[in-house]
Structure 1
Amino acid sequence: MLIKHLDRPGLVHENGLDAQRLLPWPELNAPFEGSWCVIAPGTASTPHAHHEYEIFIAVSGSAFLESEGTRVPFETGDIVHFTPGTEHRVVNESGADFEMYSVWWDLEMSERFSARHPEGAK
């Protein structure tokens, strides 16, 4: 078992939120990347789109998702999926931190995973 602990004081501010990326983690061979994300009260992530598929998993608090002209509540336990090229952002209008986990992947990540994965490994 390998555990990578969350380093709250070491979160990096990027894309309008504070984050800790899953990678680099030399021992992990995964076909995806990920990031723990904290959106402070009264702030929002930067609107963006990218070539990867992505899911957000709401872990704590409540916020709103804005994407393609739609705005919906996003609360603890919710999961959202974005296809490549879909612009999106998270808006936290509450008085507490909103925390979520983001996972993204593309074909190149899957191919690198397959190339590193030993034949017959479980």
Structure 2
Amino acid sequence: MHIRTAAGDELIRKNGCDIRQLYPWDGVVTPPWNSTLCSIRPEESSTPHGHDTDETFIFISGRGHARIGDEERDVAPGDVIYIPHGTNHVVTNTSPDDPLTFVSIYWLQPAQ
């Protein structure tokens, strides 16, 4: 059994989020996708940006608002958003007190 704890992982600040890298997991597995645990501080937003990778957000705690391309909506725990590569996106934490936390899974599309 392989176990990682939050206390043992480094948090980095990237794109306006506090990020904990989940995969790839050195020495354990290198899947065809990467993932991070992302947290946006109260009343803050991620930096608007896009990627060369497709991405999925799975919201696990907090409440907020997401803008993906030209579409906008509120988000809550249990919501899942798919973001096609190259699409500009930003997530805003609307809470004055609690972080907005989600898992980001991202992958490159196979060359066609």
TM superposition score normalised by structure 1: 0.80
1:5 equivalent to 2:14? Answer no
Q: Please give the alpha-carbon distance, in whole angstroms, between the structure 1 residues aligned to 2:31 and 2:17.
A: 24
**8 Å contact kept, 2:54–2:109:** no
Give the corresponding residue for 1:105: 107
Look at both structures and tell me which one has the larger radius of gyration over its CA atoms: 1
Alignment RMSD (CA, Å)? 1.8
1:90 equivalent to 2:91? Answer yes
CA deviations on 1:3-46 (whole Å, 9 max, x unpaired) are 22223884211110100112352211311001011100010111
AA at the equivalent of 2:11: L
**8 Å contact kept, 1:7–1:20:** no
Percent of aligned pairs with the same amino acid: 29
Give the corresponding residue for 1:66: 67
CA deviations on 1:32-61 (whole Å, 9 max, x unpaired) are 001011100010111111111100000111
**8 Å contact kept, 1:20–1:36:** yes
Structure 1: unaligned runs, 5 residues or longer: 109-122
Give the corresponding residue for 1:120: none
The residue matched to 1:19 in structure 2 has which SS? strand
AA at the equivalent of 2:7: D
TM superposition score normalised by structure 2: 0.87
**8 Å contact kept, 2:55–2:107:** yes
Q: Please give the alpha-carbon distance, in whole angstroms, between the structure 2 residues aligned to 1:7 and 1:87.
A: 32
**In proportion to residue count, which structure has more helix?**
1
CA deviations on 1:75-114 (whole Å, 9 max, x unpaired) are 1011100111111111012121111100000146xxxxxx
